[in-house]
């Protein structure tokens, strides 16, 4: 990293700019090597400054929210890692006729939005009860479960681009897929707007309790993990395929396929990213050999990695 960029970031962010910061401190897996520079930002103007500084220096920039759904390499992350701070964790509500609009910062916990919506007897997010992570991370994954997903209720997205500045994408400009949101190249998510309609409060809370019960009965609790590792193939469940391949409890180093849910890998003993990646590769190979189905990762691999096999 150039001395010029180092000085720019230190001058603008002070102690909020850290160098060679271990990413294991900032991921739910508790895994990850050092980022060249890690910055906590509080508003869109600070994001824009970091974007432009990184662009001018010719280095990449990556944004992290709560740190779920990512696996950071043991080698760390080259360039600038931006952590969205408390300024991006707000949720504001307003009425639009019989509908309610929630304007949520990208770093706001997904669970908080779900709870607040239920408290207002608003329907559309019951499926998300218990889904970890931030609003921004949920958007990128088009998080979903039990027949619902974020795209059902997202109405607009606010973003930041180094060239265009602060931008807003309306509903008809948003492109969703299965566990995917097509983020325009170079844009970082600052906030998401949701439009929800009133429902029966008792029924909303019943569906939330049902989702929570199903999630807690299957998913591992108490061990660091990054959520679901693989996307469900069409007409199948990744966890079922992995279980059928005999891999529940299978371990590489400190990483293990959860005995509770085979589509989760848990950090049982100071696992390395290389342990998790090796375990993922073995899962893909085993399921392919068993069923000729190629599993696709749901988590994002971040940082420097060795060239893939073959």
Give the pLDDT confidence of 153-195 residue by residue, as tens digits: 999 999 999 999 999 999 999 999 988 999 988 899 999 999 9
Q: Is residue 277 part of a domain?
A: yes
The CATH number of residue 174's host domain is 3.30.465.10
Choose one of 162, 189, 217: the last residue of a domain: 217
pLDDT of residue 214: 78
Residue 3 — φ and ψ, nearest 5°? -65, -35
- 256, 156: one domain: no
pLDDT-based confidence at 292, cuts 50/70/90?
A: very high
State what percent of residues in the chain have pLDDT above 90.
80
Q: Are residues 66 and 130 in the same domain?
A: no
The verdict on 207 and 95 lying in the same domain is yes
Looking at the structure of the chain, the number of domains it has is: 3
144 and 46 within one domain: no
Pair 81, 93 in one domain: no
Tell me the C-alpha distance between 270 and 32, whole Å. 11
Is the same domain home to 108 and 204? yes
For the whole model, what pTM was predicted? 0.85
CATH number of 264's domain: 3.90.78.10
Q: Do 121 and 207 belong to one domain?
A: yes
Of the three residues 59, 87, 115, the one that is the final residue of a domain is 87
Residue 269 in any domain: the answer is yes
Claim to verify: residue 108 and residue 189 sit in the same structural domain: yes
Residue 109 pLDDT more than 60? yes
pLDDT reading at 58 higher than 90: yes
232 — pLDDT class (breaks 50, 70, 90)? very high
Cite the active site residues: 179, 228, 298
∠215-217-219 over CA atoms, to 5°? 60
Question: What's the pLDDT tens digit per position in 27-51?
Answer: 999 999 999 999 999 999 999 999 9
pLDDT at 310 > cutoff 50: no
Same domain (yes/no): 133, 225: no
259: nearest Cα among 218, 211, 290, 213: 218
Contact (CB, 8 A) for 176 and 152: no
- Tokens found for residue 221: 């609790």
For residue 309, is it within any domain? no
Question: Which CATH number is 17's domain given?
Answer: 3.30.43.10
Contact (CB, 8 A) for 139 and 154: yes
Evaluate if residue 66 carries a pLDDT over 90.
Answer: no
Looking at residue 307, what is its pLDDT? 61
Residue 308 falls inside a structural domain? no
- Same domain assignment for residues 288 and 228: yes
- 14 dihedral zone (left: phi>0; alpha: psi -120 to 50; beta): left
- What mean pLDDT, rounded, does the chain reach? 92
Residues 69 and 99 in one domain: no
Task: Extract the runs of DSSP E, i.e. beta strands, from the chain.
Answer: 17-22, 34-41, 61-64, 70-72, 77-84, 91-96, 99-105, 122-123, 144-145, 148-149, 154-161, 165-170, 176-177, 180-181, 187-198, 251-252, 255-257, 265-267, 300-302
Last residue of a domain, one of 181, 198, 217: 217
Same domain, 55 and 167: no
Region 105-123: what's the mean pLDDT?
Answer: 94
Please give the pLDDT value at position 241: 98
Q: Domain of 204?
A: 89-217
């Amino acid at each position: 990293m150039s001395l010029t960029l180092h000085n720019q970031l230190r001058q603008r962010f002070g102690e909020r700019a850290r160098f060679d910061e271990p990413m294991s401190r900032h991921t739910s897996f508790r895994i990850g090597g050092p980022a060249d520079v890690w910055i906590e930002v509080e508003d869109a103007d600070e994001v824009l400054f970091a974007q432009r500084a990184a662009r001018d220096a010719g280095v990449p920039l990556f944004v992290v929210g709560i740190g779920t759904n990512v696996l950071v390499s043991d080698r760390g992350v080259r360039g600038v890692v931006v952590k969205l701070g408390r300024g991006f964790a707000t949720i504001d509500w307003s009425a639009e006729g019989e509908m309610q609009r929630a304007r949520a910062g990208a770093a706001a916990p997904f669970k908080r939005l779900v709870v607040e919506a239920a408290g207002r007897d608003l329907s559309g997010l019951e499926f998300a009860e218990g889904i970890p992570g931030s609003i921004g991370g949920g958007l990128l994954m088009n998080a979903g479960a039990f027949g619902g997903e974020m795209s059902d209720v997202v109405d607009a997205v606010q973003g930041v681009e180094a060239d265009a500045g602060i931008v807003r994408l309306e509903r008809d400009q948003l492109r969703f897929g299965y566990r995917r949101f097509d983020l325009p190249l170079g844009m970082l998510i600052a906030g998401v707007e949701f439009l929800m309609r009133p429902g029966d409060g008792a029924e909303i809370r019943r569906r939330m309790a049902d989702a929570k019960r199903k999630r807690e009965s299957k998913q591992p609790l108490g061990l660091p993990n990054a959520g679901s590792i693989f996307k469900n193939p069409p007409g199948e469940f990744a966890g079922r395929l992995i279980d059928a391949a005999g891999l529940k409890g299978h371990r590489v180093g400190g990483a293990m396929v959860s005995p509770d849910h085979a589509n989760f890998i848990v950090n049982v003993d100071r696992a390395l990213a290389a342990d998790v990646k090796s375990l993922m590769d073995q899962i893909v190979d085993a399921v392919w050999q068993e069923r000729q189905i190629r599993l696709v990762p749901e988590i994002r691999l971040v940082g420097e990695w060795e060239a893939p096999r073959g």
